[in-house]
Amino acid sequence: MVPGFVRVSVKGQQCQRFVNLCRGREMDLKRIIRTGETELQLTMKVADFLQISPLRRKTGVHIHILKKRGPLFFLLFCKRRKMIPAGFLAVFCLLFFLSGRVWNVEIRGNILNPTPQLMSFLKEQGVCFGVSRKKISCSALAASLRREFPEITWVSAGFSGTGLRFEIREGTAGEKAEPEERSCSLFSTLDGVIDSMVTRQGTPLVRAGDEIKKGQELVSGIVDITDDSQEVIRYAYVQADADIYIRHTIAYYDTFPLDIEKKVWSGKKKTTIFFQLGSSFLDLSSPLQQNEDRLICRESLFSTGIFQVPFSLGIITTRRFELRKERLTEDAAKKQAIQRLYAYEEKLIEKGVQISENNVKIEINHQDCVSRGTLTVIERTGREVPTEKKDAAKRKDTRGWLAALSNYMWMCRQTARRIFSDSLTSI
C-alpha cells in the first residue's frame, strides 16, 4: 500500500459515471467539487489512483493532477533537489554533535562559597563552554570540590540534558581564629570646620563647630580606664570608629569656546549586518569613508545561563555628516555652562559629597564662556592611622608611703626608749 493523497481534476462528458465506477470498486473519494458542467475535482488515495486507468479509458475522461501529498512524492522531490536531504542530514549531524556537549552549568545550594568562585575552579578542572560530556567525570569533579572547599560537606554532580548540574550542601568548617584586634586613630584629611560628628568607638578630641587642619587627630584609639577616684590606672586600645563630616570650600573653574563644530547629518542611512564568532568578524559593510560615522548594535543570539555563547549578530548603521561651525548665543552658552556645572556636582554627589552652597558665576567674553567660583561642600573625613601605645600610668600608692613613715617613727621611738632606760640604769 502506497501512502499519500492526490488532488485531481476530471474533465469529460462522463464525469459522474467515472465517480460512480470508482465508488463501485470501493475507492475512497473525498472533497468532490463540481467546477463546471463537464468538470469536477476530487481527492483520492495514491493506491486508488494507480488503479483508475481502466476506468479512465472506459469513460473517456481526462485526469489532471493538481496536488500531491505523501512521503513518496517528498522522496521524489528530494531526488530532484539533492541539497534538501543534504541540509536535513547536516542539521541532524549538528544536533547530534551539540547534544553531546555541555552548554550550561547550574550550581545550587551554595551560600558560603560564591558562584563565580566555584565557576573559576570548575574552569580550571576543564569544565568550559562546549566541552564534550565524555571528558567530564562527575564523581571526580564532586571529589575535587570537596577537597578545595572545606565548607562543602556534600556534592551531587550529574547531567541534565545539555547542562551540568551541581547540588551542594555546606556546613561550618570549624571555628575560625578571631582576627587580632588592631588599634587605630582617625586623622583629618581636609581643612575645614566640623559639621557633625558621631563617635561609636574611641575618644573624641574635637566636636562639632571646631576648626581643624589637615593631619589633625580627631578621634583617639586610646581609652582611659580609671578607678573610683578618677585616676588613670591603665589604657585600652581600640579601633576608632566615627562618622565625621567636615564643611569646607572647593574652587570651581570651567571654560569652553563659543565657536563650536556641529555635525549635520546628510544623505541616507546604510544598514549592514555582521557576524561575530569569538574574536573573528564577518563584516559585510564597506570601509568607513571621511565624514562618516557608524552606530554598532550587537546582540547575542543565544543565552545559556552562566556560559556566554561566542556567537553574535550585529547591525551597523552608517551615516554621512558635515561639520558646520556655529556660534553659541549668550543664552545657549549659559545653559551649557549650567549643564556642565550640574554634571560636575553629580560626580561629587556620586562620591558621597553634599553640596551646601553654590557661589559660581558665569561670564561671557568675545570668545569663551567662563565659569568660576566656589562650592561649599560637606563630606566625610577620617583617615585611619595605627595608634602608638604608651606606658601605663604609675599610680601613687599613698598608703605605702604612710606605712613606711609609720614604721620609721616606731623604730625611732623604740631607739629613744632604749637609750633613756640605759641612762637611768647607769645613774
314 shares a domain with 336: no
For residue 37, tell me if it sits in a domain. yes
For residue 196, tell me if it sits in a domain. no
333 shares a domain with 323: no
Q: Find the CATH number of the domain harbouring 146.
A: 3.10.20.310
Stretch among 87-91, 285-289, 331-335 having the lowest mean pLDDT: 285-289
Measured in residues, the chain has a length of: 427
Stretch among 77-81, 132-136, 155-159, 349-353 having the lowest mean pLDDT: 77-81
CB 63 within 8 A of CB 7: no
Counted domains in the chain:
4
pLDDT band (50, 70, 90) for residue 7 = confident
Point out the domain boundary residue: 47, 78, 109. 78
For residue 395, tell me if it sits in a domain. no
Cell of 339: 549643564
306 shares a domain with 265: yes
Q: Can you list the alpha helix ranges (DSSP code H) found in 7-160?
A: 15-24, 46-49, 53-59, 71-80, 83-99, 115-124, 138-148
Q: Tell me which residue of 187, 204, 196 sits closest to 244, measured CA to CA.
A: 196
pLDDT band (50, 70, 90) for residue 181 = low
154 shares a domain with 111: yes
Higher pLDDT, 199 or 274: 199
Q: What is the pLDDT of residue 396?
A: 41
110 shares a domain with 46: no
Q: What is the pLDDT of residue 193?
A: 93
For residue 235, tell me if it sits in a domain. no
State how far the alpha carbon of 269 is from the alpha carbons of 81, 233, 274, 293, in Å.
Answer: 39, 83, 16, 10
User: For the residues 197-223, what does the mean pLDDT come to?
Assistant: 91
pLDDT band (50, 70, 90) for residue 182 = confident
For residue 199, tell me if it sits in a domain. no
284 shares a domain with 269: yes
List all residues 6 or more positions away from 187 whose beta carbon is below 8 Å from its beta carbon. Answer: 215, 216, 217, 218, 382, 383, 385
Whether the pLDDT of residue 99 is over 60: the answer is yes
Q: What is the pLDDT of residue 408?
A: 58
For residue 399, tell me if it sits in a domain. no
Higher pLDDT, 306 or 89: 89
User: For the residues 208-222, what does the mean pLDDT come to?
Assistant: 91
pLDDT band (50, 70, 90) for residue 422 = low
For residue 115, tell me if it sits in a domain. yes
Point out the domain boundary residue: 113, 144, 170. 170
Whether the pLDDT of residue 114 is over 60: the answer is yes
Q: What is the pLDDT of residue 414?
A: 63
Mind listing the pLDDT tens digit for each residue in 278-322?
Answer: 556 666 667 777 777 777 776 555 544 444 555 667 787 888 777
High-pLDDT (> 90) share of the chain, %: 19
71 shares a domain with 48: yes
Point out the domain boundary residue: 170, 186, 218. 170
pLDDT band (50, 70, 90) for residue 252 = very high
Bridge partners for 322 per DSSP: 264
Q: What is the pLDDT of residue 175?
A: 43
High-pLDDT (> 70) share of the chain, %: 81
Mind listing the pLDDT tens digit for each residue in 16-66?
Answer: 888 888 888 888 788 888 888 888 888 888 878 888 888 888 888 888 888
Reported pTM: 0.45
Higher pLDDT, 299 or 394: 299
Q: Which domain holds residue 361?
A: 329-375
Higher pLDDT, 344 or 2: 344
For residue 214, tell me if it sits in a domain. no
66 shares a domain with 15: yes
17 shares a domain with 62: yes
CB 243 within 8 A of CB 198: yes
pLDDT band (50, 70, 90) for residue 419 = low
361 shares a domain with 298: no
Q: Can you list the alpha helix ranges (DSSP code H) found in 25-114?
A: 46-49, 53-59, 71-80, 83-99
Q: Find the CATH number of the domain harbouring 55.
A: 3.30.70.260
131 shares a domain with 110: yes
CB atoms within 10 A of CB 174: 8
